[in-house]
């Protein structure tokens, strides 16, 4: 990932440090929160006018937070696991001291009375809440102003467009997003960073805009796997206000992301029902990737013969994309009705159409979609009885050169429907020199196993590349 570069004073520029190195420097006092804040603000000043990742950014408010964090540390008080680390927050997540406008003119100037649960957890962990990032309109498909840091004529993806772009451009080391179809994995892939969508229900959503409770999931962005895991570890845990969370022990996500599995993992390469959406670049890149992993078609008898098998999904999985859409549209019809009733003139045609579609879905079709969630999750569990992770594209290809779209969630919706954890690694490059992601999907509730497997795969491909192998990889460098 991005390497630290020397500053004029001869010290490493904090904006180029890996997340754990930045955390450690802040924790030890080698770097103050104020110094880190100024470095990231300078980066914002340089690139934000073109990238346009932020919906709200107040430098003085950031400086006030940083001074308070430094005073806290100098007083000898205990510090949290994110002490002084800047974290940007998607603008559908409530913040009591900043606007939360949900990407719509209908909520312009909205000021929540309290922080969302995850923002409160950020503050308790000592994070520097570094502004609000652009979201698409009500976290659906109508784009905001954000540009892809690798090419300003291309989409950064959506709906967590600002969060992905802010991290990719080096304006913050960490950011929070959400996913209902593909809104974490897809923009992370387009922007060339790590995106982590944990298991549904791992991170609470109280104080976050509701689109579809059966699908909505909080996710994290970072330039490296350890950073995404660290942020998710801080945010996870039971919340009485979110019925999908459970009072169980927290998962050791950071430890998993920085360790190796005891045995070489076995991957199930899954094309899925939308493989026809894959670009020629994606098909070629995965052919090379599978060759590196020693892939074989079908279910091999000897797992040692290679690290990957191509595993076809049963035809029942073809129902998954339609089921996800039905749930999403019904959720929008229910939770966005107030916008349509009061602010229809301020809403995009694509959003209004989605709400109307949801209104037309009958109870039997909705309940059938819920049934498919359980049926297909059980089918996926059978894959995980043999394989450590599913291997599949994170997006159809490179980011489209079209700022009126956010790209298709074709390779994400199925796994979101099932509530499975997923992570994208920026290890591939397309024909135009732009990043493409490798998506790994794990068993629900086994996020730590997925992260450990992802760490192994990244190291394996980097070692192969250093040894002159054919696996393509992408170094995500801030614009």
Strand partners, 308: 267
CA-to-CA distance for 93 and 89, rounded, in angstroms?
7
- Work out whether the CA dihedral 155, 197, 104, 165 comes out positive or negative: negative
21 φ/ψ angles, rounded to the nearest 5 degrees: -65, -40
Phi-psi label, residue 430: left if phi above 0, alpha if psi -120 to 50, beta otherwise: beta
Q: Are 296 and 306 in contact (CB under 8 A)?
A: yes
SS3 of residue 269 by DSSP: strand
Whether residue 108 lies in the annotated active site:
no
Choose, from 161, 163, 183, 413, the residue flagged as catalytic: 183
CA-to-CA distance for 232 and 219, rounded, in angstroms?
7
Whether residue 183 lies in the annotated active site:
yes
51 burial via Cβ count (<10 Å: 0-12, 13-18, 19+): buried
Choose, from 142, 159, 199, 413, the residue flagged as catalytic: 159
Pairing of strands 435-441, 422-429: antiparallel
425 φ/ψ angles, rounded to the nearest 5 degrees: -115, 135
Strand partners, 132: 56, 89
118 φ/ψ angles, rounded to the nearest 5 degrees: -70, -30
Assigned token pair, 76: 């000898």
- CA gyration radius for the chain? 21
Q: Are 323 and 369 in contact (CB under 8 A)?
A: yes
CA-to-CA distance for 210 and 253, rounded, in angstroms?
26
Choose, from 32, 90, 161, 408, the residue flagged as catalytic: 90
Q: What angle do CA 151, 1, 217 make, to 5 degrees?
A: 75
CA-to-CA distance for 50 and 449, rounded, in angstroms?
38
Active site residues: 90, 159, 183
């Amino acid at each position: 990932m991005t390497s630290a570069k020397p500053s004029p004073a001869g010290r490493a520029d904090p904006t180029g440090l890996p997340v754990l190195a930045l955390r450690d420097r802040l924790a030890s006092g080698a770097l103050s929160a104020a110094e880190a804040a100024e470095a990231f603000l300078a980066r914002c000043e340089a690139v934000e006018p073109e990238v346009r990742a932020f919906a709200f950014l107040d430098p003085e408010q950031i400086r006030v937070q940083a001074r308070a964090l430094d005073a806290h540390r100098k007083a000898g008080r205990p510090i949290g696991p994110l002490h002084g680390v800047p974290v940007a927050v998607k603008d559908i997540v409530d913040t009591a001291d900043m606007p939360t406008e949900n990407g719509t003119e209908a909520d312009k100037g909205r000021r929540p009375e309290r922080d969302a649960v995850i923002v409160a957890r950020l503050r308790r962990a000592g994070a520097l809440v570094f502004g609000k990032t652009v979201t698409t309109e009500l976290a659906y498909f109508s784009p905001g102003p954000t540009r892809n840091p690798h090419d300003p004529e291309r989409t950064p993806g959506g709906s967590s467009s600002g969060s992905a772009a802010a991290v990719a451009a080096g304006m913050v080391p960490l950011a929070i997003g959400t996913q209902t179809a593909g809104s974490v994995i897809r923009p992370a892939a387009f922007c060339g960073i790590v995106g982590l969508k944990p298991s549904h229900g791992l991170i609470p959503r109280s104080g976050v805009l509701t689109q579809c409770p059966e699908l909505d999931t909080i996710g994290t962005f970072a330039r490296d796997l350890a950073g995404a895991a660290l942020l998710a570890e801080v945010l996870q845990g039971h919340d009485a206000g979110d019925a999908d969370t459970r009072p169980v022990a927290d998962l050791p996500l950071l430890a998993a992301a920085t360790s190796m599995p005891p045995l070489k993992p076995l991957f199930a390469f899954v094309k899925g029902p939308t493989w026809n959406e894959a670009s020629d670049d994606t098909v070629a890149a995965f052919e090379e990737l599978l060759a590196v992993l020693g892939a074989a078609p079908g279910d091999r008898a000897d797992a040692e013969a290679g690290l990957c098998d191509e595993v076809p999904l049963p035809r029942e999985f073809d129902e998954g994309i339609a089921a996800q859409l039905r749930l999403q549209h019904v959720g929008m019809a229910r939770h966005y009705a107030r916008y349509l009733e009061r602010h229809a003139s301020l809403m995009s045609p694509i959003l209004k159409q989605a709400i109307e579609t949801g209104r037309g879905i009958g109870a039997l079709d909705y309940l059938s979609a819920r049934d498919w969630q359980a049926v297909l999750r059980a089918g996926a569990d059978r894959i995980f009885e043999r394989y450590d992770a599913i291997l599949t594209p994170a997006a159809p290809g490179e980011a489209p050169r079209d700022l009126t779209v956010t790209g298709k969630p074709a390779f994400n919706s199925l796994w979101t429907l099932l509530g499975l954890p997923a992570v994208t690694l920026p290890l591939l490059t397309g024909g135009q020199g732009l990043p493409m992601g490798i998506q790994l999907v794990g068993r629900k509730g086994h996020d730590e196993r997925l992260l450990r497997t992802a760490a192994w795969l990244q190291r394996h491909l980097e070692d192969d590349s250093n040894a002159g192998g054919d696996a393509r990889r992408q170094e995500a460098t801030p614009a």
